[in-house]
C-alpha cells in the first residue's frame, strides 16, 4: 500500500479556537497556539508533522477554514532489467 502524506493550511485569523479539529484528528497533529490572532482567540496550529490527509479536521470545522492536501508516494516500479552481462558495462539513467 502506498504511503499517504497529508498537509493542512489553517486560516489562523478566522480560527476561533473551538478545538473541534484537535479532537477529530486521529494523528494528534493539531493543537492550540499560545499566541492570539487578531480577534483575540488562541488559534489551531500543526504541532506534529504526521498528517495523513484524512480530512477529519476540515469536516468538523464550523468556520470552514481548514484546507487539506494529500500526496501519495508512488510505489517503486521496475523500469529496467539488466541480465546476461559477460563484461563491464556502463549504465546511464536519465529521468
How many Å apart are CA 38 and CA 20, to the nearest integer? 20
The answer to whether residue 77 is domain-embedded is no
The reported pLDDT for the residue numbered 42 is 97
Domain count, the chain: 1
The answer to whether residue 85 is domain-embedded is no
Q: Which residue has the higher pLDDT, 34 or 1?
A: 34
* CATH (domain of 55): 3.30.70.20
Note the pLDDT tens digit of each residue in 66-83: 999 988 776 656 656 667
Q: How far is CA 81 from CA 74, 75, 84, in A?
A: 20, 17, 10
**The domain containing residue 47 runs over which residues?**
4-72
Note the pLDDT tens digit of each residue in 12-62: 999 999 999 999 999 999 999 999 999 999 999 999 999 999 999 999 999
The answer to whether residue 84 is domain-embedded is no
Amino acid at each position: 500500500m502506498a504511503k499517504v502524506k497529508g498537509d493542512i493550511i489553517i486560516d489562523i485569523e478566522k480560527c476561533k479556537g473551538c478545538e473541534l479539529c484537535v479532537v477529530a484528528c486521529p494523528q494528534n497533529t493539531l493543537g492550540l497556539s499560545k499566541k492570539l490572532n487578531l480577534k483575540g482567540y488562541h488559534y489551531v496550529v500543526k504541532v506534529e508533522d504526521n498528517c495523513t490527509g484524512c480530512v477529519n479536521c476540515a469536516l468538523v470545522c464550523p468556520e470552514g477554514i481548514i484546507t487539506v492536501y494529500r500526496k501519495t508516494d508512488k510505489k517503486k516500479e521496475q523500469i529496467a532489467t539488466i541480465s546476461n552481462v559477460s563484461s563491464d558495462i556502463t549504465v546511464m539513467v536519465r529521468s
